[in-house]
Amino acid sequence: GYIKGNKNARITIIEYSDLLCPFCKKHYTAQTIENLVKKYPNDVNMEFRQMPLPQLHPTAPIGAQGAVCVGKLAGADKFYAYLDEAFKASEFTEDSVTEIAVKLGVNKSSFASCLTSAETIATVNAQVQEGQ
């Protein structure tokens, strides 16, 4: 995952979320955890992890895979910028997540190679398992 805030903070809040979940969108948009990180910058940081729920949101896994790839290819700041854009979506396709990544400056061919790779899918599945 990617830490947002002071990497040396005493407390890390780990958020597991589905990018298409309406309740998750509301929580993310309100910046509930981010506000704690801002209020207590020396004590609290956060880390976002993927928890797509395909039984409720069938295209959520491709959105989660896109987030993993943006982070892998462009780092933490772009990862969180991807989340900002992804939480606005109502569904995901390979084209839509690629469009977000390219808009953020990620190389299109590198992203395409990463998006459906076994390693990326395994990373998302590991985060889901961890969250459960």
Per-residue pLDDT of 47-100, as tens digits, reads 999 999 999 999 999 999 999 999 999 999 999 999 999 999 999 999 999 999
65 within 8 A of 20, measured Cβ to Cβ: no
Beta 2-4 vs 44-50: how paired, if at all? antiparallel
Give pLDDT tens digits for 96-125: 999 999 999 999 999 999 999 999 999 999
Q: How many Å apart are CA 73 and CA 11, to the nearest integer?
A: 27
| CA angle centred on 55, ends 12 and 84, rounded to 5° | 45
Q: Is the dihedral of CA 59, 64, 65, 70 positive or negative?
A: positive
- The pLDDT-based confidence of 37 (bands split at 50, 70, 90) is very high
Q: How many Å apart are CA 104 and CA 94, to the nearest integer?
A: 16
What's the confidence (pLDDT) of residue 1? 78
Reported pTM: 0.94
Q: How many Å apart are CA 102 and CA 120, to the nearest integer?
A: 18
